[in-house]
Amino acid sequence: MIKTIAFDADDTLWHTERIFINTKEKYAALLADYHDYVYIERHLDATETKNIQHFGYGVKGFTLSMIETACELTEGRITGDKIKQIIALAKEMLAAPIDVLEGVRETIVELSKNYRLMVITKGDLLDQETKLARSGLGDYFDAFEIVPRKDAKIYKYVMRRHEIAPEEFLMVGNSLRSDILPVIEAGAKAVFVPYETEWFHERVSDEELVGNHFGRIETMLELPAWLKTL
Q: What is the pLDDT of residues 55-102, one digit of tens each?
A: 988 899 999 999 999 999 999 999 999 999 999 999 999 999 999 999
pLDDT in tens, 129-144: 999 999 999 999 999 9
Which of 95, 130, 152 marks a domain boundary? 95
Last residue within a domain, chosen from 55, 80, 95? 95
Share the mean pLDDT of the chain: 94
Q: Where are the alpha helices (DSSP H) in the chain?
A: 17-30, 37-55, 59-73, 80-95, 104-111, 125-135, 152-161, 181-185, 206-209, 223-228
pLDDT digits (tens, 9 = 90+) for 113-132: 999 999 999 988 889 999 99
Instruction: Please say which residue of 72, 95, 118 terminates a domain.
Output: 95
Q: Are residues 146 and 52 in the same domain?
A: no
Amino acid 126: pLDDT:
87
Average pLDDT over residues 9-20: 95
Structural domain total, the chain? 2
Residues 144 and 223 in one domain: yes
CA-CA distances (angstroms) from residue 142 to 118, 119, 128, 191?
6, 9, 16, 20
Is residue 108 domain-shared with residue 207, that is, in the same domain? Answer: yes
Q: Do 141 and 175 share a domain, yes or no? A: yes
Instruction: Tell me the pLDDT tens digit for each residue of 53-64.
Output: 899 888 999 999
Residues 85 and 125 in one domain: no
pLDDT value for 200: 65
pLDDT of residue 202: 72
Confidence at residue 74, expressed as pLDDT on a 0 to 100 scale = 96
156 and 88 share one domain: no
CATH code at 148? 3.40.50.1000
If you compute the radius of gyration of the chain from its CA atoms, what whole number of angstroms results?
19
Burial (CB count within 10 angstroms: exposed 0-12, middle 13-18, buried 19+), residue 70: buried
pLDDT at 199: 67
Backbone angles phi, psi at 192, to 5 degrees: -95, 125
Domain that holds residue 74: 17-95
Q: Are residues 103 and 82 in the same domain?
A: no
Helices 37-55 and 17-30 pack at an angle, to 10 degrees, of: 120
pLDDT digits (tens, 9 = 90+) for 166-221: 999 999 999 999 999 999 999 999 999 999 887 666 777 777 777 789 999 999 99
Q: What is the mean pLDDT of residues 19-34?
A: 95
Same domain? 10 vs 70: no
Residues 211 and 110 in one domain: yes
